Every structure is written in structure tokens, then in C-alpha cells.
Amino acid sequence: MEQEKRGQWASNFGFLMAAIGSAIGLGNIWGFPYKMGANGGFIFLIIYLALVSFVGFATMLGELALGRKYGMGVIGTYRKISEKYTWIGWLGWLSGFFILAFYSVLGGFTVRYFFGFLLEMFSSGAGFGGMDSGAFFGSYIINAPVVLLYHAIFMGATIIIVMGGISGGIEKFSAIAMPTLFVMVIIVVIRSVTLEGSFVGLEFMFKPDIEAIKEIGLMRVLKTAAGQMFFSLSLGMGCMITYGSYLSKNENLEKNAMIIPIADTTFACLSALAVLPAVGAFIYQGVEGVSFGAGPGLLFVTLHRVFSVGMGGFMGNFFGAFFYFLVFIAAVTSSISLLEVCTAYFIDKRVAKGLSPDRKKITLIMGIIIFLLGFLPAMDGLGSGRAGGAMIDIPAVIFGMKEVRVAFDCWLDFYDMISEGVFMPLGAMLMSLIIGWKLKTTLIKEEVESTPGYQIRAYNFWDICFKFIVPLAMFFVLLGQLDDFFGLGIF
Ligand code: PHE
């Protein structure tokens, strides 16, 4: 009865599309390509794949299993395990809260760029005011009212879908959006790798760059890859616990826990193939101001230039609109999962009290609060135009430590650091320790085998992952993080 009230996926395919949709997002299209390029190319890819294999699959299985077993969102799940773990649930919940606040601001950027190229198709100068890519981006990010407007549009879309419920909103949207996304990215990949000079980008991507690894340091590369993996797979903050809680016992958890990371990683590689060869081609062709640079600049300045100057004309505008629409769709299927993590807590509470879930109202209120939290990253111009950064004083107030101040250029960095940098690896470490040592991995076995007629295949592997590999890997990630904040110089 409770389960009925909370909602359930209508089919395993629908669940997979929603979960893969959550995983695939800005992290894949924007984060993965440049992190791979800047951190040793092919060697980074190998490290990333190893992390997915030994940490990603197990964490995914653990989250789905806990969610389905306890049938609650992230806070409810940890509370059911033990009252004293409730705070771990809150860590996850807060991660969702902070990530969505800045994610929606960036999502708004993609909407702006989509409209921009769309308008340019019909009238030159209508979309971007005839400005150069860098100039446009610079003027856009400091134009707070406009950034807020697009942040509102993006958040509005997210709220509407989540209001529709699990099968009626999230699943329905994802089941159409995700297959479309795969087709779209393949079209962009084909265009990208067939441009003259694309080999420059392919080389940047795939060349095993030992020098870069030496220079950056293996531990740091490992930390970057691990952070990227968590963010990209939506792990460590209870998103998959929440989605798992809407799964029926008939669905095969072990298989699902493999499919989601494989699909996400495949898409990350496809995104790299969509972005980097195009950038490389225009470096080769000598288009000015195109480089493999990192940060929002790659997605919003370099790629804008690739479409507007590199390709140019109607086709450039067409592919520009097409590409940013793709990024928008990928971002929305992620943002809905973030909002769902936050709303599920209140829905669970009401259902436990025997009240109606009131999903629409809760979603709307939660969405508005997160929208307001997004004002800070939306209005600080990503830290541009402030030598030293105005943001810097705030963590200094919080932590009272000088060294901490230099770590953040802007609010977006700060939100990202709390969630992706600290709460998520901490959440994954604690979850895995709880599963491995307190609840024991037999719990995972029982939950997986509660699917009629199914026998767990890789029990020993999961056992070792939960007990040793995941906690140890996360410990190093957290150590690396502390090292960065406080300049300890360990790595
Ligand atoms: N995985 C999403 C991305 O790659 C972001 C995300 C993180 C979504 C955590 C949900 C939970 O963009």
C-alpha cells in the first residue's frame, strides 16, 4: 500500500532509462572530455575504467539494493538501518540540494545557447548579438537577470516533470529522451570526426600521455577520475537509493547495476568523441581562440566558436542548436533525479504518517527553495571580473582558516566542492563500510535473490569491493581532497 502511494516504475526499461538519464548529464558531456584530455588521455581512460569496474559497479548495486530493500529515499533508508546513521542520509540529501542549485544555473546556460543558435539560423546576429564567442559568454555570465531567467526556465522544466510522478513524469520523459539522446550524440560524433583535422583532437584524447601523469601526479589523476566517476554515475548521494526504492522485486538488480555504468561510460566516451575532434579540427584549421581549455569555457566558449566560426553559416547554427538541445536534454534527465532525492524525503514522511503524498506541492516548494539557493552561483558571474574573487571571504568565515580561502573562485566551485568533493565520496565510503561490515554483504545477496528464481552471480567480487576496495579508494579520494584544501602537500 505504502509502495503504491510512493509510486513505482512501470517497466524495467523505463527504470533503466531514468537511471541512465540521471547518470548521463553535464558531467559526461562537459566534464569527462576535458578531464580526460588534461589528465593523461588514454591512461586516464584506463584508470577511469578500472574505477568503474571496482568501485562504480559495487556502489551502484549497493545503492539500488538498499533502496529497494527499505523502500525509502536516502534519509529514510539510513534511518531504517539505524537511527544513528540518519545523518549519512542527510549528507546525501544536502548533496542533491547543492548540486541542483548550480546544475540548474548551468542547465539554463544550455537553454540560452540553444535559443541563441536557433535564432541565428533565421537571422544573423539575432541569437548572440553579433558578438564573438568569448565576448558573448563574458557578457552573459555577468548579466544576472538573464542568467536567473534561464535558471528559472530550466528549474521550471525540472519541477514540471517531477510533479508528474515516478512512472507518469520521470519515466515517461526519460523513456523518450534517452534513446533520442543516443541517436543525437552519434550524429554529432560523425560530424565531428569527419571534419578536416579531427585527428588533432583524437590524438589529444587517446595519446597515452605519461609526461602529463608525471607532472600532475598519479594520486591527483586518480582523485580527479574518482570524483568524475561519482558525479557522472550519480553515486554517493543516494540518488540511486531513491530510484531503487521505486523498483519492484521482479527486476534483476545485479544486471541493472552493470548496465547503468556501462551506458554512462559509453556515453562519456561518445561525448569526448563529439567534442574533442571538432575542437582539434579547428585548431588544425587555424581558427583563432579554439583550444582544449577546461571549465565552462570549453562547453560555452570553445564549442560556440566551433559552431559559429569553425563550421559557420546555416549548418554551423543548425548543429549548434542541435548540440545544445542535446546537452539540455541530458541535463534535465539528471536534474529531475536530483530534485526527486530532495522531494522523496518529504513524500516518505507524509506516507509514513498515512497522509496523501502531495507530490505536486512538495515538488514545487522544494524546487523554489533550490532555485533561490541557485541565486548565489547565478549572480556572481562565475567569479569573473573580481580579482581575488568576492566569494573567497565566505568560506574563510565558515572555517576561519586562511588556506581555505584560495580554494574557491566562485559559488559554483564552492557548492561543487561540498557535494562532489566531500559529501559524495564520504557517503560512498560510509555506505560501503556499513554494507560490508555492519549489515554484511549477505544482505545484498538476499536482496538480489529476492527476485524470483535469480541467483547472485558475482557474490565474492561484491564482497571484496564492499569490504575493502571501495572504502580504501574513497579514503584516498578524501585524503586528496583534504590535501587540496589545506595545502598539506601529501600528494
Ligand atoms: N550524473 C549527472 C551528470 O553527469 C549529475 C548528477 C549527480 C545527477 C548526482 C544526479 C546525482 O551530469
In the predicted model, what is the mean pLDDT of the chain?
89
Bridge partners of residue 41, in order along the sequence: 208
Ligand 1 mean position, distance from CA 52 (Å)? 15
The candidate with the shortest Cα–Cα distance to 329, out of 136, 183, 125, is 183
Give the least confident one: 63-72, 336-345, 357-366, 380-389.
380-389
pLDDT tens-digit map of 253-272: 999 999 999 999 999 999 99
Given this model, what pLDDT does residue 340 score? 96
Q: Which atom of ligand 1 is nearest the CA belonging to 338? A: 10
Other beta carbons within 10 Å of 215: 10
**Any idea how long the chain is?**
491
Q: What is the DSSP letter of 389?
A: -
Q: What are phi and psi of 41, to 5 degrees?
A: 55, -115
Instruction: Give the cell for residue 36.
Output: 580526460
Mean pLDDT of 115-136: 92
CA pair distance 413, 411, nearest whole angstrom: 5
Q: At residue 61, does pLDDT exceed 60?
A: yes
Given this model, what pLDDT does residue 405 score? 43
Given this model, what pLDDT does residue 24 score? 96
Q: At residue 3, does pLDDT exceed 90?
A: no
Q: Please measure the distance between the N-terminal and C-terminal CA atoms of the chain and give it in whole angstroms.
A: 52
Q: What are phi and psi of 195, to 5 degrees?
A: -75, 150
Given this model, what pLDDT does residue 404 score? 44
Pocket test for ligand 1, best of 174, 237, 326, 334 (most atoms within 8 A of CB): 334
pLDDT winner (highest mean) among 138-142, 402-406, 460-464: 460-464
Other beta carbons within 10 Å of 229: 28
Q: Which atom of ligand 1 is nearest the CA belonging to 330? A: 12
Kindly report whether the global pTM for this prediction surpasses the value 0.75. yes
Pocket residues: Cβ below 6 A from ligand 1: 22-23, 25-28, 99, 231-232, 234, 237, 239, 334, 337-338
Which amino acid residue places its CA nearest to atom 10 of ligand 1?
234
Mean pLDDT of 68-90: 96
Ligand 1 mean position, distance from CA 338 (Å)? 8
Other beta carbons within 10 Å of 249: 12
pLDDT tens-digit map of 273-300: 998 898 899 889 888 878 876 666 788 8
Give the least confident one: 99-103, 356-360, 379-383.
379-383
Given this model, what pLDDT does residue 295 score? 65
Confidence of residue 85 (pLDDT cuts 50, 70, 90): very high
pLDDT tens-digit map of 168-193: 999 999 999 999 999 999 999 998 99
Ligand 1 mean position, distance from CA 199 (Å)? 30
Ligand 1 mean position, distance from CA 21 (Å)? 9
Given this model, what pLDDT does residue 488 score? 66
Rounded percentage of the chain residues whose pLDDT exceeds 70? 92
Q: Are 249 and 68 a contacting pair, CB within 8 Å?
A: yes
Confidence of residue 217 (pLDDT cuts 50, 70, 90): confident
Q: Are 412 and 102 a contacting pair, CB within 8 Å?
A: yes
Ligand 1 mean position, distance from CA 20 (Å)? 10
Q: At residue 398, does pLDDT exceed 70?
A: no
Given this model, what pLDDT does residue 440 score? 94
Pocket test for ligand 1, best of 20, 22, 28 (most atoms within 8 A of CB): 22
Match domain 2-391 to its CATH number in 3.30.750.200, 3.40.50.1100, 1.10.4160.10, 3.40.50.1370. 1.10.4160.10
Q: Three-state SS across 96-131?
A: HHHHHHHHHHHHHHHHHHHHHHHHHHHCCCCCCCCC
Q: Where are the domains of the chain?
A: 2-391
Q: At residue 97, does pLDDT exceed 50?
A: yes
Q: At residue 403, does pLDDT exceed 50?
A: no
Q: Which residues contact residue 80 at a Cβ distance below 8 angstroms, ignoring those fewer than 6 apart?
A: 70, 72
Confidence of residue 56 (pLDDT cuts 50, 70, 90): very high
Confidence of residue 220 (pLDDT cuts 50, 70, 90): confident
pLDDT tens-digit map of 442-465: 999 999 999 998 999 999 999 999
